[in-house]
Structure 1
């Protein structure tokens, strides 16, 4: 291996690590607010990329149907809850978000030719389609068991992942897709060409890392969200709506996942199940961070990306084994260094 090959591998590792950092941050976000290890995070990566690819191909994305189905299911749950409590005040707002909004998105997807629209409009519409599915997943799968133990929430998360992978295959098919790059061209660093899309990936990751760090570390609202994970009963007594905190965190997770998929779609082919492996590597980064620190999750993600890049060069057949083996010493070290705390 000479210096030029090493620089190419470092570039690939940093780009991959930037995506893993985004997903690692989303997993840390979901866990710190809701105590949910959000395994389906990778599905939003695939759905965001495939939705944009469908718009650019002039097709009706499958996520439009998923949004309509999810909205109908959430509306039924809200009506049942209102009937049991005999409190109908929240029904009009629920109908607006879960019936009217999906109907408007469906009409826009059918009537507007997004194939002829600028790329920024296509990206924004893809996010408008995919991101609302996040809080729908929270409302249907996790909010009813939000007070359960972490183990129960993990089991539910696995079940949701299996269901979302099956829905992805049903609505998108087994074919892969790519999208157009944000911008053409690039620059040269140390004799190594760097594409503009690579710069978009790294720059967006850095911006989101800083934004989430400031939000949860410096703002009162971010600290209030974190308080729901530490003590849900105490947070509720202090006036923090825990259900709203869960919806907001899952909305942010869906936004990060969908945008991550849109970022990488021009540089790799995305399939309906591609997101799972990407999300799993983000999970390794989140574990390195102890599911609690955004900067440490980002650093762990870059480490995972570099390890994957150099492993693919030295032993490509075992690169996944090498990457996931990294989690074993981290878990051992955290097990020996942490104190046992009884869960309430």
Structure 2
């Protein structure tokens, strides 16, 4: 019955799926850690593949169907920027939109006057792979991941030994770019730095056979480089789909999009529904899970007037759920 409801998007699907997933995860979730309020609500059937980000005047922006799309404060949808080729999106402290343009293999910024500024499109003379997601620290240094999904024949990023690199990079306010993680992570995807610049979380999302599906935490030095010796495993998704985008709330709890509802053998073989938002305490303990009945759950973002609405992108669809604690936002929030 559950499978039929999920396949046909029956009105009972969300309730049944949440109950089933809750039973599966009961042993790992503490009952006294309140995270979500109610069940997720489906807001859009398309246009929200990735990169959700909230702006207090614009509303929600998402990456989808090749464009950056907008859902305004009244819930009306429109195309914000055509042919953006975007994945991860983020507003900086000045309200300028930062974009991971994986189509053109670069990181961009839309200035206050609407003009487009390319922050970086290469490193040591080589084009990036597919800039995927980004975060910003208290010193306005931008960090982004550069994985390669799909065809790998056009990869230019190599290390000194000729090995292909899917790394993590930092853009300093003066425009200089530094690679801060080279091979410590298999295929970096989502990432976020804590507001005090103490920790960097990196999603290791290689969903090929034998690939890593892990969430890592690194302690950070004051100069914006990670202490690689402190690499700590927070969670391993095993044989289901690994972690993708992530956000923090104002208590320092981490919300991570991950999992699948249907196996995709031979590489992703978990037979129980696991797609949704996983919540971890600042100490790295899983304290919550929100089931999303649509593959793939790719990212999330806090928004709304009080910052207590979590928007979730999944397979092009957009969902929302209320949370007990407001989210941390670089622009327009706390």
Settle same-fold status: TM greater than 0.5: no
What TM-score do you get using the length of structure 1 for normalisation? Answer: 0.25
Which structure shows the higher strand fraction?
2
More helix per residue: 1
